[in-house]
Amino acid sequence: MITKENINDNLKFIGLDLEDLPDFLKNPSYINLNSFKLNNDREIKVYKYVPISEIDIFLTQAHRDDSIKEKYSKASHISTYLNPNDEKNVDKYADILEMFDKINVNGIEKIQEKQNKMKEKVPFNVSYDRSQLWQIYYQEEGNKYFMLVSTKDNTFDELFYLLKKKLENSDDSIFVPVTLVSFSEEYLSSRQINDLENYLWVFTKNWPISYEVYDKKNKMSIQIVGETNVYDGIKSIYKIVLKSKEEAEEFFKLLKALFILRTELGNAYDFKTMIDNNHSLSFFYNDKKMIFDELPNFIKEKYNETEIAIKELNYETNDLENKLKLLKQEVKQKDAEYFLKQKEISTYLEYKKTFFGKVKYFFRSKSKKNKKLNEIENEESIDTKETEKDSKKGNKPMQVYVDDKKFHTIDDLVTLYSLYEKGQRYLKDLKQDINALELRSMNVSKKIENATLYINEIDKHKKSIFDFWKFANKDELTALEMGEENRSYSENNLIKKFDFESDFEELGENVDKIQRTKLSNEELDNLFIATTDILPIVNMLKDGDMDKDAIDNILEQLKKDYYQEDRKEESFDIFGNMQDDQTKVKYIGSHSFRENEKSKFNILNINKNIDVFDFTEKLQMIVNYLNESFNKISSIYDMSIYKIVPISEKLHKNDFEVFNMSLDDEFKNYEYNQESAIKLVKLNIKENFPLLYFSNSVFYDNKNKTLPIGMNLSSRVLIDSNKFDFNLKDSTKFKVNHFVDKDDDEPKVIYVYVDEYELNEKK
């Protein structure tokens, strides 16, 4: 409800006296936007520090989400809303009184706080929350800025902040997005900026956003904000700042060159993106940073390497061509020999019917055989001449260009590398042909051997030509080497590797079902304790360290925490685990259920009378229950699990340890303590390794049988490190831009040192 008192208080806060308006609220101003601007309501890409005194204020009765054309057609200067004596503007005066009633003092003060932070430094993300509500426009004619606010909005914090500062005659500037302003193209053209975004997407697989940003001195820079993968799916925000035309052109040429090499040459050169110390994006090839000035040397180096590779490929190709030619001759000769034996057997079976036929066969086969062998030698001679004739045609698959250029262009490298790839394909075909011929030669040799045995026994057997074929081919090798390779490849890929994005939901449902079936309620309760701050003291007992003072201190702290939760000091808790009404409905996502959340106090039986000996016995029972649980549950995939720890922390090889299947969640949940470096432990575990999951049934009981199945509350798992041998596979590092605190204006560069281990189960 609108009240005069509330309006007066709000007007007093912003410093507005309706009876004594300043000139800028009495004299109407006008805007004149051309039709082209009205039909091109573009995305905001320009941010500036605009002097408050230069911004005029207009109100529109159109909605904020309407087109600029619609808002412009219903726009009027704010002075027309502040004249109650004008009968034409009575409705407008009523509208602005309603707006005055909605003035939010806290909202205006928050804007003031943000703008104070932006006075000296542009926000890291350039854009900021609710930036669309500023609604600052630019009219080229007259170099005029104006705010165009819809009277139908629910909040007007930005409007009244600006009005308050204008009433104070402030000479401050505000950092705001400016609509209806195109790229100046002072450093790069709009097309080049668009190309830059496309190039960056190829390397980062995330679309960046480009801005032209003007500082308080009206000095322009191009700022590009995006995300890139830095390790195992972990993404980091980056910001590229190009402060001059020369710097922008160099970066554009560098990225264009890398883009061409990446797209034209496939996977020949794998350029990696990394975060640098300035929060920007750098490109690396084989751990060497790619710099524009070094590109000519890089291209020359790769050109020379490709030349050498082509020469080596040519030598190998020539050797294989000679080998293939000899194999063809060998196989042809063996085929002819086998054909003669097959012919000999066929003829013998025909002539052996009579005695004179046998005699005739004997003399005929001798002369025919010698004649046939002479024909084969003549054919081989002709084939050799034809092969030599073909080789003189110069149809080589590759040709090395030798020149004295000091540097080469990207086009030179792409052309040369295409020849190298052509040679590789030709070489691969040669090897496959040789493998096929070698196999064929082995088969024909075996056929000849079998045929010879058959001929030696031909007088003892009255067989047909079909018997001969069957006998001669009985040892034929049918598997090609390429087929062996393919089968081996398929066998090696039968094991499914866990992918968190696509497999986690299904895995969560499967393991929750398994744990509800195989684990008792006591085992699930004690697995819940592993999710709490009690785990370190449990590990102390697991390692055989009976520090009574440490256990006593933990117990006293638990008692203190227990009774601080408005609990009545009782020696015995009559409710036990039933702390909630069983009819009370709870939700996990969109799934409703009626179950009690588990409590470490109830599971540990914390009460006024429990002593350190009872508590120690309870902790030992937890160790026993967890040991028993590990004998029942195992990993259902080959997978990687992660844990972030302080940089100085070493691997605990005897403890129960909590790891995360989601590296992204592990980064988000890690509590930073102003560190500039952290350690990431990555464990590669195999299928059927002992592993416990923090599924839904670990966090709630299920007495009413309403608990949703899955892992909706956690993506973490528990391992018993003592069951494994840890073999260090790789150590690496990367950098990530991370907002340690939500209120931070700029991210912090965090160094992440990675230790990756392959786990083997102890025998």
- Name which of 135, 180, 127, 179 is nearest 156 in CA terms: 135
Query: Above pLDDT 90, what percent of the chain?
Result: 48
CA atoms within 13 A on the CB side of 5: 1
Q: Stretch 354-378: mean pLDDT, rounded?
A: 54
Place of tokens 């062996």: 484
Given a cut of 60, whether residue 459 has pLDDT beyond it is: no
User: What's phi and psi for 150, nearest 5 deg?
Assistant: -80, 130
Place of tokens 């392959």: 758
Strand-pair category, 136-139 with 173-179? parallel
Amino acid (one-letter) located at 576: G
Per-residue pLDDT band for 117 (boundaries 50, 70, 90) equals confident
Amino acid (one-letter) located at 686: K
Q: How many CB atoms lie within 10 A of CB 115?
A: 18
Give the residues across from 221 on adjacent strands: 213
Strand-pair category, 46-51 with 209-214? parallel
**What would the pLDDT profile of 712-736 be if each residue is shown by its tens digit?**
999 999 999 999 999 999 999 999 9
Give the residues across from 679 on adjacent strands: 645, 753
What pLDDT sits at residue 588? 85
What are the structural domains, with CATH classification, of the chain? 4-179 (no CATH), 190-290 (no CATH), 299-492 (no CATH), 500-761 (3.90.176.10)
Measured in Å, how far apart are the chain's first and last C-alpha atoms?
A: 77
Q: How far apart are CA 538 and CA 722, in angstroms?
A: 14
Position with higher pLDDT, 2 vs 212: 212
Give the residues across from 645 on adjacent strands: 679
Tokens of 302: 């790769």
Per-residue pLDDT band for 400 (boundaries 50, 70, 90) equals low
Sequence-distant contacts of 345-351: CB under 8 A, at least 24 apart: 345/451, 345/454, 345/455, 345/458, 345/465, 345/468, 346/465, 346/468, 348/458, 349/463, 349/464, 349/465
Lowest mean pLDDT among 231-240, 348-357, 458-467, 571-580: 571-580
Amino acid (one-letter) located at 271: F
Q: Per mean pLDDT, which of 235-239, 327-331, 344-348 is the most reliable?
A: 235-239
What are the start-end ranges of the E strands in 85-153?
Answer: 136-139, 144-150
Q: How far apart are CA 99 and CA 151, in angstroms?
A: 7
Given a cut of 70, whether residue 349 has pLDDT beyond it is: no
The answer to whether 434 and 323 are in contact (CB under 8 A) is yes
What are the start-end ranges of the E strands in 170-271?
Answer: 173-179, 209-214, 220-231, 234-242
Task: Give 90-106 as a DSSP string.
Answer: HHHHHHHHHHHHT--HH
Q: Stretch 607-615: mean pLDDT, rounded?
A: 86
pTM of the prediction? Answer: 0.78
Given a cut of 70, whether residue 471 has pLDDT beyond it is: no
Question: CA dist 262 to 80, 191, 280, 297, 714, Å?
Answer: 60, 21, 21, 17, 39
Position with higher pLDDT, 299 vs 181: 299
What pLDDT sits at residue 669? 87
Question: CA dist 664 to 230, 500, 595, 641, Å?
Answer: 11, 10, 29, 11
Which DSSP symbol is given to 127? S
**What would the pLDDT profile of 538-581 be if each residue is shown by its tens digit?**
999 988 877 788 888 898 888 888 877 645 444 445 444 445 55
What pLDDT sits at residue 87? 77
Given a cut of 50, whether residue 488 has pLDDT beyond it is: no
Mean pLDDT of the chain: 84
SS (H, E, C) 600-653: HHHHCCCCCCCCHHHHHHHHHHHHHHHHHHHCCCECCCEEEEEEEEECCCCCCC
Helix (H) or strand (E) holding 300: helix 295-351
Give the residues across from 56 on adjacent strands: 146
Given a cut of 50, whether residue 511 has pLDDT beyond it is: yes
Per-residue pLDDT band for 479 (boundaries 50, 70, 90) equals very low
- Beta-carbon contacts of 133 under 8 Å, excluding residues fewer than 6 positions away, are 64, 153, 155, 157, 158
Per-residue pLDDT band for 480 (boundaries 50, 70, 90) equals very low
Q: How many CB atoms lie within 10 A of CB 159?
A: 24
- Beta-carbon contacts of 155 under 8 Å, excluding residues fewer than 6 positions away, are 102, 104, 107, 133
Per-residue pLDDT band for 378 (boundaries 50, 70, 90) equals low
What pLDDT sits at residue 179? 85
Per-residue pLDDT band for 590 (boundaries 50, 70, 90) equals confident
What pLDDT sits at residue 489? 41
- Name which of 6, 151, 130, 143 is nearest 66 in CA terms: 151
Given a cut of 70, whether residue 63 has pLDDT beyond it is: yes
The answer to whether 513 and 709 are in contact (CB under 8 A) is yes
Which DSSP symbol is given to 749? E
What pLDDT sits at residue 19? 87
What pLDDT sits at residue 350? 67
Lowest mean pLDDT among 93-102, 105-114, 397-406, 429-438: 397-406
- Name which of 476, 439, 447 is nearest 337 in CA terms: 447
Given a cut of 70, whether residue 283 has pLDDT beyond it is: yes
Which DSSP symbol is given to 89? G
Given a cut of 50, whether residue 269 has pLDDT beyond it is: yes
Q: Stretch 32-46: mean pLDDT, rounded?
A: 67
The SS3 of residue 656 is strand
- Beta-carbon contacts of 647 under 8 Å, excluding residues fewer than 6 positions away, are 675, 677, 678, 679, 753
Give the residues across from 283 on adjacent strands: 273
The SS3 of residue 676 is coil
